[in-house]
Structure 1
């Protein structure tokens, strides 16, 4: 057991086995399908294919952040056991859960004045958030204390590059991220918007590229331009996808061929239920360590 707890939200979009292997604790986000509330529990409640089938058939889906009460219930057993906690939340540019976490922290501070409960806004999402947690777990394993690790996260969190594209704009339109008119034109022209997570942690459409193949090549090109060490990049690469693993593998095959010094092979993950409720199927997201987002 480590000296302190390292925890995150299920929207880090890795797997439970991945988190357990690194001794990272996790609190679940929530989503609703046709009025029934579910936990974003790494696909146990709804496998990705089942969730997308229901979405495509017209199911009403919404999401809900981790609440103040959820955080208190999650953290209290660790504090009662005499352990300190460092928690990183999903980006505040995407969700209000960072505010909920801070409110829960403040409530628990009076109850456990001798304990340290540190909350950091990851400014990251999906497996980019997972990539950050992976590195923090390594640093903790190397002996870094809670305050030092929190400071490292704040200093380096913007170095996690997030680049993604979608070949199906249906749910971006439904969620209001792309207008109906733009979506209609995009569909007719086979446009795949290339998006990123900005320095404030929000999502942004950066380029509008015709055809999925060009979008796949573009995100790899962006990695050449932005990765730490350029073509000599020697760290890990994560990719997440929503029901389009073949598209994701096309990207990872190119990356493994063009970045021969990277640490191991590209790791693939499913985009979790919370984020999938907004993207729908057809999204591929690439994450690597790069120049700080500005």
Structure 2
């Protein structure tokens, strides 16, 4: 009989409630300051990272390979026969390759390592839907076939307060960032098929960017029933405003407020980020 483990990382922005409900194994990214290193969402909160920005902007790194080895050793001891791992986009991190290598060292567990090609709740929604399939008793092979199909039904868009943090983290072209700030152009950022950030649209000013992200969501929701997820990085009031507007739309089956994003995402997106994820329902 199959015993399937589900693995992801802290950038999926899953709530403790969801993690505990489905028994999801979560690998922690690292937040690195000049004098100390922290485990993401274990030793430090996103709010603390934002408060510390005025003193130091930290860097981040993927979970340690030893953490991955330790997790697989634990799964073997607990009798797991299969593992499904859904990771942060390879366009943003090396965790996918790290888990692939780890899985190859543990032949007793048949593994499926999947690149979400997304981040935050764009990744997290996929993990949660996969968890539901495991709970329903679907087989490993059935779930492996279903995951890419779920991925096609997920849309994610976000805005940031400033492009400076994406520039510093090497997540966006320096020229695009400089021009954007000079003209007060605010991109609506999406994630392409390769799992990299791109400008889905551009508007002028913060207010227009918030209006535009709502209009994009409204257009998708108008075409069919959706679950909707909203999260932010030090932009709670604006996130609640967006939540209230989306709540009024028809075809919104479930609406979730994800709260503040993980510290790792906070490091690279900076304060003022606001994102929305839409899952088209079948």
Shift of residue 180, structure 1, vs aligned partner: 5.8
Alignment of 1:1-294 (within 5 A): 3-41=3-41, 44-57=42-55, 59-83=56-80, 84-109=82-107, 112=108, 115-178=109-172, 182-183=176-177, 185-225=179-219, 227=220, 230-231=221-222, 233-258=224-249, 260-290=250-280
List alignment gaps of at least 5 residues for structure 2: none
Aligned Cα root-mean-square deviation (Å): 2.2
Kept in 1: contact 2:218–2:246 (CA 8 A) = no
Deviations along 1:61-82, one digit per CA (max 9) or x if unpaired, are 1111124322111121112221
Q: TM-score, normalising length from structure 1?
A: 0.86
* TM-score (normalizing by structure 2): 0.90
Deviations 1:196-219 (A, max 9, x none): 111111111222211222111212
Q: Separation in 2 of the partners of 1:138 and 1:263?
A: 17
**C-alpha distance after superposition, 1:134-179 (max 9, x if no partner):** 2112222222112211221123323211100112233123224456
Contact 1:67 1:97 survives alignment (8 Å): no
Contact 1:11 1:275 in 2 (8 A): yes
Number of positions where the alignment pairs a residue of Structure 1 with one of Structure 2: 279
Shift of the 54–134 alpha-carbon distance from structure 1 to 2, 3 Å rule, reads same
Structure 1 CA distance for aligned equivalents of residues 141 and 18 of structure 2: 24
- Structure 1, unpaired ranges of 5+: none
Spell out structure 1 runs of 4+ moving beyond 3 A: 176-190
Q: Give, in whole Å, the separation in 2 of the partners of 1:235 and 1:75.
A: 35
Task: Measure the CA separation in 2 of the matches of 1:25 and 1:266.
Answer: 22
What is the rounded CA distance, in whole Å, between the counterparts of 1:34 and 1:48 in structure 2?
Answer: 18
Q: Secondary structure at the match of 1:207?
A: strand
